[in-house]
A and B are shown apart, each in its own frame.
Chain A
Amino acid sequence: MDFDLTDDQKLLTDSVARLLGDRYTFEARKGFQKQDAGWSADMWGQFAEMGLLGLPFDEAYGGFGGGAVDIMLVMEQFGKALVLEPYLATVVLAGTALRIAGSEAQKSAILPEIVGGALKLAFAHGEQGARYDLSDVTTRAAKTASGWVLDGAKSVVLHGDCADKIVVSARTSGARNDEAGITLFLVDGNAKGVTRRGYQLRDGTRAAEISFASVEVGDDALLGTIGGGFPVIGRVVEAGISAMSAEVVGSMDKMLDVTLEYLRTRQQFGKAIGENQVLQHKAADMLMSTEQGRSMSMLAAMMVDEADDAERGRNFALAKVGVGQAGRFVSQNAVQLHGGIGMTEEYLIGHYFRRVMMFEHSFGDTAYYLNKLADQVH
């Protein structure tokens, strides 16, 4: 048992914190959000320069060979600053799919472009009727003489509107909800037959509905094996849970700090409202939830590379519920303790509240994972 960070990890944390502290103020973020893409190309360049975009990739592809703990550290900082850029979509989600299923040719062609900041990716798996079921895939891919043709639609694809390349899951055999028969493809964002409708999520990040109408791709677009997509999707989702958990932890840290500061300064009845014990105890509960959530986020990071499927699946379910419940508790009470100002678009707490909202609805919610855990009890 060892909770220490390496010197490199401390350096990484400090430099990301410094960059965001200087350049990613709440006011600056409002400006980024107003840009056409909904985020800042300039900041994306900064992330590339700092090596963040290459963090999890092998050195052979220009990366830094980092692990889930490194991603966790970066995402915690991103959660404190409410970073808008497509890091989760490109580096964590699609990046994980490429890392574990990509051919040598695919990795050599694409990973260095991601590392350098030239290519953005998205992971297009969820569909409107699927809710959180990872095997519910109706988008179809049919074999042709020279490749494949894709038909179907993907829903709430994170940063799908700006992606240069999209990892798409499609059914190549079997019935809806079969785990076997799902295959992953790499499709150009601008390929003929791809239609994207981009929009903002509640928290201000971007996503898209993407439809595929007779989209033709070559055999080289196949990512991994035919029909072997399901386990890859599972690992991508777990990497996403781990990264986003850390982001929620960063957001909880920030919400707690901001709320404590408000309790110290806001005066009512002639004294700081933080002098009221009922509010002190609520803040103590927020502190405890934040720490319990941090523990679960660490658990998720440690489990990303766990080889035992059952052990990994069980711990991810525990972690997702733990972080989700902590995030909801802390964010709801952050708004409550602020009173009216917490309800406004202008003030920052509501923005953290809405970012944390996204976590519960990404990759399976609390009820979904509690049922998963419950079904293991006999």
Chain B
Amino acid sequence: MDLRFTAEEIAWRDEVRAFIDAELDPALRERLRVGFNPTKQETIDWQRKLNKKGWACPGWPAEWGGAAWTPVQRLIFNEAIQSAPAPDLQGFNITMLGPVLSHFGTPEQKAYFLPRAANLDDWWCQGFSEPGAGSDLASLKTAAKREGDFYIVNGQKIWTSTAHMADWVFALVRTDPNARKKQEGISFLLIDMKTPGITVRPIISIDGSHHLNEVFFDDVKVPVHQRVYEENRGWDVAKYLLGNERSGIARLGKSRANLEFAVDTARQVRSGGAPLIEDRSFRQRIAQIEVDIKALELTQMRVIAAASKKSDGKPDPFSSLLKIKGTELLQATSELIMDTGGPMAMPIWASELHALGNEPIAPEWAGYMAAPYLMLRAASIYGGTNEIQRNILNKAVLRL
């Protein structure tokens, strides 16, 4: 038993870091460090750099550009990206659609969509949740009625991240309203966002950002050849998609970067006549987070080591642990960042305000304190709420 990285693994980490240092625009890196999201174009540019290097879609089969890395190599890669920080791989394209299409897609679907997804020529979004189907996803109602070589789609999706910038959506739709079980009447469709009848309406989040949307489908015609896998077997596809890529789900690199940002800021903020970082109670919070990061880092390695030994392809229920504990850390570290700001975390120090007076009205760091806290409340909700993850642990491990 040896929990340390091998010399080869350390060399790999150095190689990834060196690539990031050489290729990532320092100005973008700094903006990500203080909590901004990359723009669509920045994500595309970065994804294309990775694609050139052969690192755009590491988890895919090799014939479609996958990197055939070991689970440990993938973990190291993901964490290097998160802690840099560099833009994350576009999740809908890379960790969701790609594996699904290479597993279930027709030869034509693979040949057309996969290279374009890897290079972000198409920006994909995910049409799963509906107003009446959140955690209970199989209750979805968006209907797809077969008419000749087309499905006519009617209904509504919600919480659709990046739909406003997407070229395509992969959606779960109901093709058999009379199926014995609600899971059995669902199909998986690929829909061009430019198809007439699609309306995207923004939902502004509590951090003021536009990330989420409602998407309405009104007699949208979708060619039957854009269905993935068999009709009414879309639930199998969805299950595969949700269980497929769990490496990096804990996002520890991001939590580490958050912690580092809080510590950096606490050196500049004064409290009680000295830098905040000298306050022992503040440092104890940091210590507690360090303990929790270390524990999860090791648990994650155990899960990954177990995954590399089994070949049934089924998701490990302990990835639910990684999700719960990982998102708790994202939230704890973003809360620490905000608390570091003290009263300066309250105003919206928007750049317009700076521009008005033509000079900064607050220290640089003050503008970045609260946004990650607000945004990351979503972390324990998306991807299966943390309560649903506990249900999964119970069903798969505890069996109560």
Contact = CB atoms under 8 A, between A and B. Distances in A.
A3 B302 CA distance: 7
B380 to A, nearest CB: 13
A322 B296 CA distance: 10
Interface string A288-308: 100111011011011000000
A138 B294 CA distance: 36
A279 B400 contact: yes
Contacts of A4: 1
Nearest to B5: A1
Given A1-B2, A285-B390, A373 B305 contact: no
Contact of B283 (A280, A283, A325, A377): A377
Contacts of B397: 287
Nearest to A375: B283
Given A260-B400, A284-B394, A302-B3, A295 B299 contact: yes
Interface string A355-378: 000000000000000110111011
B290 A373 contact: yes
B6 interface: yes
A192 interface: no
A263 interface: yes
A292 B301 CA distance: 12
Interface residues of A, number: 43
B291 A281 contact: no
B263 interface: yes
A283 B280 contact: no
A250 interface: no
B280 A374 contact: yes
B298 A263 contact: no
A280 B390 CA distance: 8
Nearest to B287: A373
A3 B290 contact: no
A291 B321 contact: yes
Interface string A69-98: 100000000000000000000000000000
B301 A281 contact: no
Contacts of B306: 3
A299 B294 contact: yes
Interface in A246-284: 260, 263-264, 272, 274-275, 277, 279-281, 283-284
Contact of A322 (B4, B294, B398): B294
B305 A1 contact: yes
B324 interface: yes
A233 interface: no
Interface string B359-400: 000000000000000000000000000010011011001101
B117 to A, nearest CB: 31
Interface residues of B, number: 40
Interface string A325-361: 1000000000000000000000000000000000000
B94 interface: no
| Residue of B5, B294, B318, B393 with highest tally of chain A CB at under 10 A | B294
Interface in B1-54: 1-6, 9
A288 B60 CA distance: 30
A122 to B, nearest CB: 30
Contacts of A2: 1-2, 305
B interface SS class: helix
A5 interface: yes
Nearest to A279: B400
A321 interface: yes
B264 to A, nearest CB: 12
Given A1-B301, A288-B325, A377 B277 contact: yes
Given A4-B1, A280-B394, A321 B291 contact: yes
Interface string B242-285: 00000000000000000000010000000000000100100110
A287 B321 CA distance: 9
A377 B6 contact: no
Contact of A292 (B287, B296, B393): B296
Contact of A69 (B1, B301, B318): B1
A370 B263 CA distance: 16
Nearest to A285: B390
A283 B291 contact: no
Contacts of B301: 1, 3
A318 interface: yes
B386 to A, nearest CB: 9
Contacts of B286: 373-374, 377
A274 B393 contact: no
Contacts of B400: 260, 263-264, 272, 274-275, 279-280, 283
B288 interface: yes
B287 A377 contact: yes
A264 B400 CA distance: 6
| Residue of A299, A318, A319 with highest tally of chain B CB at under 10 A | A318
Nearest to A68: B1
Nearest to A286: B398
Given A4-B1, A295-B299, A377-B263, 7 more contacts: A1-B4, A3-B305, A264-B400, A285-B390, A302-B3, A321-B288, A322-B294
15 contacts: A263-B400, A280-B390, A284-B390, A284-B393, A285-B390, A288-B325, A295-B296, A295-B302, A296-B295, A298-B298, A318-B290, A321-B291, A322-B295, A371-B287, A375-B280
